[in-house]
Structure 1
């Protein structure tokens, strides 16, 4: 596990097991807003502090969250947790591929809202390796761009960008 351009590069089975549970995925998404305590996370997710604590500890052992800071309160120590990185990237040699993040995105998608933009496109193209590399670099630049920064008054949206080799049959020449 290492960081690349601010991304947490997922490569270990423990990381994928930790992210595979829907509540842990939601905890990680909530923590991307700001550091939070078990109580704050429990309130946001409609869960109990004990359940949240159990799942946060699994995320912490997998290297996905860490203690951002602690604070003394009424004779105890309150821990505020944060993600170890704002973005996830799957390592080339990971035990799973991009389908893992696609499933995660599907799980968090809400039904379409007539007042909110909702665009999902699937396009298949035939590219040379050089063209695929150029498109991958373009996707990276888009994902790293200023136009995708969080807005305080904004609504949550997911952006899933993927370039993948597709298993599409090729018709023989006529």
Structure 2
């Protein structure tokens, strides 16, 4: 990847307000620039043209095949929740997803975490009457 391509994309991200210049350093007649994200997470507005499918598709593009010695877990569950139960679960998931990283970047293997709580378009069946 050429430097011009990287510079272009960083400029686009900076102009969009997604990254900021965090530090500069003089090195051998040039200036190194270090950028940082402006937030640890982004919430997509429900009316945005790109909805929740964006992070899901991004995660699908990053998933590597599991190796026998590496942790990996994927599950899809359907839950019946009251509004207050759904809000409580959302708060627990948000807290878990916002926990700090245990290892500094560059020292461990990259892993992804995708957390999503959503209303499901599945039939709501009546309770089984046991007959």
Q: Normalized against structure 2, the TM-score is what?
A: 0.82
Where in structure 1 are there 5+ consecutive unaligned residues? 1-46
- Residue in 2 aligned with 1:101? 55
Moved more, 125-134 or 163-172: 163-172
1:61 deviation in Å? 1.2
CA shift at 1:76, angstroms?
3.7
Equivalent residue pairs, number: 126
Alpha carbon RMSD of aligned pairs, Å? Answer: 2.1
Q: Does 1:77 align with 2:18?
A: no
Rounded Cα–Cα distance in structure 2 between residues aligned with 1:78 and 1:149: 26
CA deviations on 1:25-74 (whole Å, 9 max, x unpaired) are xxxxxxxxxxxxxxxxxxxxxx2111111111111111111111122334
Q: Which residue of 1 aligns with 2:101?
A: 149
1: CA distance between counterparts of 2:37 and 2:52? 20
Q: Which residue of 2 aligns with 1:23?
A: none
Q: Which runs of 4+ in 1 moved over 6 A?
A: none
Q: Matched residues in 2 for 1:167 and 1:80: separation?
A: 44
Residue pairs, 1:43-54, within 5 angstroms? 47-54=1-8
Measured in 1, the distance between the counterparts of 2:36 and 2:112 equals 19
1:134 & 1:89 partners in 2: Cα distance? 18
Q: Is the counterpart of residue 64 in structure 1 residue 36 in structure 2?
A: no
Distance 2:102 2:53 in 1: 25
CA distance in 1, matches of 2:36, 2:95: 25
Matches within 5 A, 1:121-160: 121-145=75-99, 148-152=100-104, 153-160=107-114
Q: Name the structure where helix makes up a greater proportion of residues.
A: 1
Give the structure, 1 or 2, with the largest relative contact order (CA under 8 Å, sep 6 or more): 1
Q: Which moved more, 1:129-138 or 1:150-159?
A: 150-159
Bigger-Rg structure (1/2):
2
Cα 1:130–1:61, aligned 2, differ >3 Å: closer, same or farther? same
Question: Equivalent residue for 1:4?
Answer: none
1:93 positional shift: 4.3
